[in-house]
């Protein structure tokens, strides 16, 4: 399955990070859930109503466990992901400490990142829907509107990117979208190597790396002076593209 280890370089040193992407279908996840769910998570699943909610739960847990098990060396079934007081995912397990994770899912896709507590990261993904008028939900400055309309993706994709970038930024500071969206104003967008690199007006210490793929907008937010290996991210995207093309 598509996952990659990354080494993020900073002046202070190097920080490890694992990213996983998945689009497994519900039938596959139900067949494999005993291989990645913790007993408490299986109890939770059994109490869920049938349908898409079960798929979202399983897909998120599968993707997160793929990255978390690779990062920690702990079997997936021995790792427990519980919601914190603000519903943020909290990773628990024997000898697991100072390890955090970010999970996002939309439609059939999920992304998860596992990283050290000392180096905050967050991810988001959002399916692009034609005619989805996100402009009603996202307050944009005139500068943001100008930058988004200049992107070569079409308005639906560009607006979805803006939503994804802002949501990922909100996850890094652990407020989620309970905070006013105005504080997540994007100050610049630059196209580099098939990625968008964005800066924020009110969070100059962070940057967003975003892209469009699989009819979805994807984003990772991390400290501005951190340099992930973009070639590894490209490899991960190719793995996900190959996985999507396989029959389910």
Does one domain contain both 67 and 161? no
Does one domain contain both 151 and 112? no
Does one domain contain both 2 and 113? yes
Residue 84 has pLDDT above 90, yes or no: no
The predicted-structure confidence for 152-206, as pLDDT tens digits, reads as follows: 998 899 999 999 999 999 999 988 777 788 899 999 999 988 899 999 999 999 9
Residue 135 has pLDDT above 70, yes or no: no
For residue 229, the model assigns a pLDDT of 81
- Helices 155-172 and 142-149: angle between axes, nearest 10 degrees: 130
Does one domain contain both 44 and 139? no
For residue 71, the model assigns a pLDDT of 94
- Give the Cα separation of 207 and 202 in Å (integer): 11
- What's the CATH code of the domain at 30? 3.90.470.20
For residue 182, the model assigns a pLDDT of 87
Does one domain contain both 128 and 67? no
| Residue 147 CB coordination number (10 Å) | 20
Average of pLDDT values for 229-243? 77
Please check whether residue 230 lies inside any domain of the structure. no
pLDDT > 70: percent of the chain: 92
Does one domain contain both 113 and 32? yes
Does one domain contain both 216 and 106? no
- Predicted TM-score (pTM) of the model is 0.91
In sequence order, the β-bridge partners of residue 7 are 16
**Total count of domains within the chain:** 2
Does one domain contain both 86 and 156? no
Closest Cα to residue 61, out of 96, 34, 99? 34
| Residue 10 CB coordination number (10 Å) | 12
Residue 245 has pLDDT above 60, yes or no: no
Domain enclosing residue 174, as ranges: 120-225
Please check whether residue 246 lies inside any domain of the structure. no
Does one domain contain both 28 and 59? yes
The predicted-structure confidence for 26-77, as pLDDT tens digits, reads as follows: 999 999 999 999 999 999 998 887 666 689 999 999 999 999 999 999 999 9
Does one domain contain both 126 and 112? no
Please check whether residue 243 lies inside any domain of the structure. no
pLDDT, averaged across the chain: 89
């Amino acid at each position: 399955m598509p996952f990659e280890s990354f080494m993020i370089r900073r002046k202070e040193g190097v920080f490890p990070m694992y990213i996983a992407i998945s689009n497994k279908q519900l039938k596959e996840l139900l067949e494999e859930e005993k291989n990645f769910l913790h007993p408490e998570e299986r109890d939770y699943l059994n109490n869920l109503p049938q349908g898409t909610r079960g798929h979202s739960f399983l897909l998120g847990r599968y993707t997160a466990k793929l990255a978390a098990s690779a990062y920690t060396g702990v079997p997936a079934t021995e790792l427990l992901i519980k919601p914190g007081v603000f519903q943020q995912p909290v990773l628990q397990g024997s000898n697991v400490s100072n390890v955090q994770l970010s999970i996002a899912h939309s439609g059939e896709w999920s992304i998860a990142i596992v990283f050290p507590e000392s180096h905050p990261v967050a991810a988001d993904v959002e399916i692009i829907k034609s005619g989805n008028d996100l402009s009603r939900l996202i307050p944009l400055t005139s500068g943001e509107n100008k930058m988004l309309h200049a992107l070569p993706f079409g308005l639906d994709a560009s607006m979805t990117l803006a939503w994804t970038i802002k949501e990922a930024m909100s996850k890094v500071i652990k407020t989620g979208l309970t905070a006013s969206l105005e504080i997540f104003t994007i100050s610049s967008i630059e196209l580099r190597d098939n990625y968008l690199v964005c800066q924020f007006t009110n969070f100059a210490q962070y940057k967003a790396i975003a892209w469009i793929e699989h009819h979805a907008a994807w984003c990772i937010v991390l400290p501005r002076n951190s340099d992930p290996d973009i070639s590894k991210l490209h490899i991960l995207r190719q793995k996900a593209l190959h996985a999507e093309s396989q029959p389910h």
